[in-house]
Amino acid sequence: MVETEVECCKIISEEVEDAVVLEGSPNLGLIGNIIGWLLVEELNMKQVGHISSKYFPPLAVLYNGLAIHPFRIYSTEGIVLFLSDFLIPPTVTYDMANVMTDWMERNNSKELITLNSTIVRQKTNGVAGAANSKESLERLKELEVPILPFGNVSGLSGSLLTKTATRNIPASCLFAEVLNQYPDPRAAASVVNVLNRMMDIDVNAEPLIKEAEEIEARLKELAKHVQGEPESPIYM
């Protein structure tokens, strides 16, 4: 294990050179987190490290009954995944982006793909993209990914896009369409389909579609139940 440290964050991990780096952390719709867990399962990724900070929330994640670090690093052939199970505090984001970029530069990472979301009024289950260079932007266009022309990229995704640009590390951000802050496996599945084309992998997004159908069925039943309730009496 090798340590990479900045002011308030430390990466403790194995070295994984010449890999494509993915970043998945909770955001609106939990897109990055949902996709991250799917990749771990579908690609049989191995945990190779974690990130620690005294500013992280006091938290352990249970996985099959085992307590694991809340911000972990996974790897499989040619791919590294930074996966967080908590919202990165804004006070930590700057240092987090720095320590991750330091790690990528030292390991000669090929590129970064960060996963995010954008709120829309009506969903088309589409995926938009942004990048930190003209070359990365052209690649998205060649894959027929619509470009998000204006707006802000907040949180860790935004910081990583700008930090990697200063180190000449190609980076892209994929945005799923979401209606609100609630978990959206169907939107996450749309991003997985784009990732398959970008990285020439074959991750099955069907588990996310099934999960979305189950959520939608429960919401429909809940709506029927609420609509069928008698109006509450008004007391004077």
Residue 86 near residue 59, CB atoms below 8 Å: yes
Q: How many domains does the chain have?
A: 1
pLDDT value of position 236 = 42
8 Å CB contact between 118 and 103: no
Residue 12 lies in a domain: yes
Q: Are 52 and 10 in contact (CB under 8 A)?
A: yes
The mean pLDDT of 28-39, rounded to a whole number, is 93
Assess whether pLDDT exceeds 70 at residue 224: no
pTM assigned to the model: 0.89
Per DSSP, 147 falls in state B
Q: What is the pLDDT of residue 227?
A: 58
Quote the percentage of the chain above a pLDDT of 90. Answer: 67
In a domain, residue 57? The reply is yes
Range of the domain at 211: 2-223
Between the ranges 102-111, 120-129, 179-188, 200-209, where is the mean pLDDT highest? 102-111
The three-point CA angle 222-183-61 to 5° equals 115
Residue 84: how many CB atoms within 10 A of its CB?
22
Beta bridge partners of 20: 79, 111
Question: Residue 67: is it exposed, middle or buried by C-beta count within 10 angstroms (0-12/13-18/19+)?
Answer: exposed
Residue 234, pLDDT score: 46
State the DSSP string of 105-121: HHTT--EEEEEEEEE-S
Residue 175 C-alpha from the chain's centroid:
10
Give the residue, 102 or 150, on which the prediction is more confident: 102
Q: What are the C-alpha distances in Å from 18 to residues 50, 129, 136, 194? A: 19, 23, 17, 21
Give pLDDT, residue 136: 95
Average pLDDT, the chain: 89
Q: Does some domain include residue 233?
A: no
Asked, for residue 208, whether it belongs to a domain, the answer is yes
Question: Cβ of 133: how many Cβ atoms within 10 Å?
Answer: 16
Mean pLDDT of 131-153: 92
**Is 163 inside any structural domain?**
yes
Assigned domain for 104 exists = yes
Q: How confident is the model at residue 3 (pLDDT cuts 50, 70, 90)?
A: confident
| CA nearest to 29, candidates 151, 223, 152, 211 | 211
Q: What is the pLDDT of residue 217?
A: 75
Q: Within 13 Å and on the Cβ side, how many CA atoms surround 135?
A: 6
pLDDT band at 41 (very low <50, low <70, confident <90, very high): very high
What CATH code is carried by the domain that includes residue 102? 3.40.50.10900
Helix axes 31-42, 206-228, angle to 10 degrees: 140
CA distance 140 to 82: 22
Token pair listed for 49:
């490290």
How many CB atoms sit inside 10 A of residue 231's CB?
Answer: 5
pLDDT in tens, 182-209: 889 999 999 999 999 999 999 998 888 8
Q: What is the mean pLDDT of residues 173-181?
A: 92
Residue 234 lies in a domain: no
Q: Is residue 229 part of a domain?
A: no
Least Cα distance to 28 among 115, 94, 111, 143 occurs for 115
